[in-house]
Amino acid sequence: MPEVSMKKAVAWTAIAKYSLAIVGILFAAILSRLLTPEQYGTVAVISVILSLFQLFCDMGFGTAVIQDKCLTNDQINDIFSWTLYIGLALQILFIGASFPISTFYEDSIYVPLGIILSFSLLFNAMNMIPNAVLLKQKRFKTITIRTIVASIISSLCTIIMAYKGLGVYALVIQSVLCALITLVWNELSVRLNFKLKPAFASIKKIWGYSIYQFLAQFFNFFSRNLDNLLIGKYFSKADLGQYNKSYHLMQMPISYIPGVVGPALHPILSEHQDDPKYIYHAYLKLLKFLSLLGCFISAFLFYVANEIVVILFGDQWHPAILPFKILALSVWFQLATNTFGPIYLSIGKTKLMFWSVAASCTLIVAAIIIGCLMGGIVNVASCVSVAYIINFFLSYWIMTKRGFGESFGKFLLTFWQEVVIFSVLITLPLIPLNIDNIVLLFMVKSMIIVLVYFVLLIITKQYKHLQTLIPVRWRH
């Protein structure tokens, strides 16, 4: 199989991610006008619980298949067969769990929603190992085309269903359709063989690596979703819908920027798993790139938060603006911390990754609980944002000191220029702009902050770092 470079892998992943971003923004803009915050809040609750069940579908097996270069095709088929059995068991459990969920949240609609979403759970379980095989084979082009096609088809069907008045059912059916299309495509791309009696020895071979990856994902799930679960229980569904909208809007750059390089990092860097110094310095270049983008994106989202929410979703989402502004301040730090997982996987230190994630999750969960006790989604957003910022320092102290044996102080000094840039950009809201047209105001604000940002890049001589991941032929 021909060698795939990091830049080519990132390029294909970028095409997939940014195509999904465009589809996602258009999809959200249309649906936000067809559905209410209450309906979004209803689906947000059961979607979080679905995500918890999906963690058990994979159990870290996917990343282990990528990391272990000695697995035979027969052993991969064993692991694939076990994930199918696990998926079937979890589907039944999820259907059963929908009854106590409906009782806890005092809404009977969670029973039919749970039954529908259980098929998404099964299909995603069946997709885990084929996805890992495609990544292991570095078939990023196939993954890109499949992802775009599945997203477009499922999104169009969802819009039609929402327009026909299916409401919350349209939102949950979307995830089922997307998983089903992906499953069919994977079956045609990766011919894995199901075994009625798969060997458990194949699971034992990767268990020492995969278990800590799974535990890290498990802890991370609660830190990322406990706020939605608590708001759904103790606040109104409208509050949950508004908070969920602001949170997902904040997450978009985190998903579509680190998400571009994340899938490529592990398959590529795992080839250098015996040379941690190489991995550390390669990763430091990537972090510098992400930090320069992140400080701008945080300031940009904070500056134009009002215009973004109203233009994309309409006036009914106005209460989401302030939580979104507050959460936007943490984007810079989250862009960095959302990439350390593949690094731990590449150097084989999943146990250390687990302890790092456990420490981070303890911090974030405590912040969520404090925010909920204070009352109001603005307080929750404030506490969560502060926790994500502190988490940056905690996570990278563990990685630099324990993972690579490097100086944490030198690591932090790498990013002092971004502190200067961000400090200037965050003062731009103090400039008065008397423009009534919201679209025109957004355009003017965007031009101002982009211009100031590039001037600061030139003054601090940091523009060269933004070329790190850009192919030479694209720079001219």
DSSP assignment of 439-468: HHHHHHHHHHHHHHHHHHHHHHT-GGGGGT
What is the DSSP annotation of 318-374?
GGGHHHHHHHHTTHHHHHHHTTHHHHHHHHT-HHHHHHHHHHHHHHHHHHHHHHHHH
Q: What is the DSSP letter of 106?
A: T
Residue type, 472: V
Other CB atoms within a 10 A radius of the CB of residue 415 amount to: 18
Give the span between the Cα atoms of 390 and 392, in whole angstroms.
5
The CA distances from residue 256 to 7, 128, 314, 335, in Å, are 16, 21, 23, 10
Cα 126 to the center of its chain, rounded Å: 21
Give the span between the Cα atoms of 266 and 346, in whole angstroms.
6
* Residue showing tokens 């939102």: 171
Helix (H, G, I), strand (E, B) or coil at 3: coil
**Which mean pLDDT values do the consecutive 10-residue runs of the chain (476 residues) have?**
53 66 76 79 80 78 75 86 90 92 85 91 88 80 83 87 85 87 87 85 75 72 74 78 84 70 64 75 83 91 92 84 93 84 76 84 89 89 93 90 86 90 92 88 94 92 67 39
pTM of the model: 0.66
Cα 242 to the center of its chain, rounded Å: 19
Find the Cα–Cα–Cα–Cα dihedral 84, 85, 88, 89, rounded to 10°: -140
Nearest Cα to Cα of residue 212 among 51, 49, 57, 64: 64
Give the span between the Cα atoms of 453 and 460, in whole angstroms.
11
- In degrees, rounded to 5, the angle at the alpha carbon of residue 351 between the alpha carbons of residues 63 and 212 is 50
Give the span between the Cα atoms of 90 and 75, in whole angstroms.
23
Q: What is the pLDDT of residue 261?
A: 63
What is the DSSP annotation of 122-191?
HHHHHHHHHHHHHHHTT-HHHHHHHHHHHHHHHHHHHHHHHHTT-THHHHHHHHHHHHHHHHHHHHHHS-
User: What are the backbone angles phi and psi of residue 166, rounded to the nearest 5°?
Assistant: -80, -10
Q: Inter-axis angle of helices 110-136 and 168-189, to 10 degrees?
A: 30
CB 291 within 8 A of CB 332: yes
The H or E element that residue 472 is part of is: none
Q: What is the pLDDT of residue 270?
A: 65
Nearest Cα to Cα of residue 37 among 248, 214, 205: 248
What is the DSSP annotation of 380-435?
HHHHHHHHHHHHHHHHHHHIIIIIS---HHHHHHTTHHHHHHHHHHTTGGGS----
Q: What is the pLDDT of residue 135?
A: 79
The b-or-e profile of 50-89 (16+ CB within 10 A means b, else e) is beebbbbbbbbbbbbbbbbeebeeebbbbbbbbbbebbee
> Which residue blocks in 236-275 are alpha helix, DSSP H?
237-256, 258-269
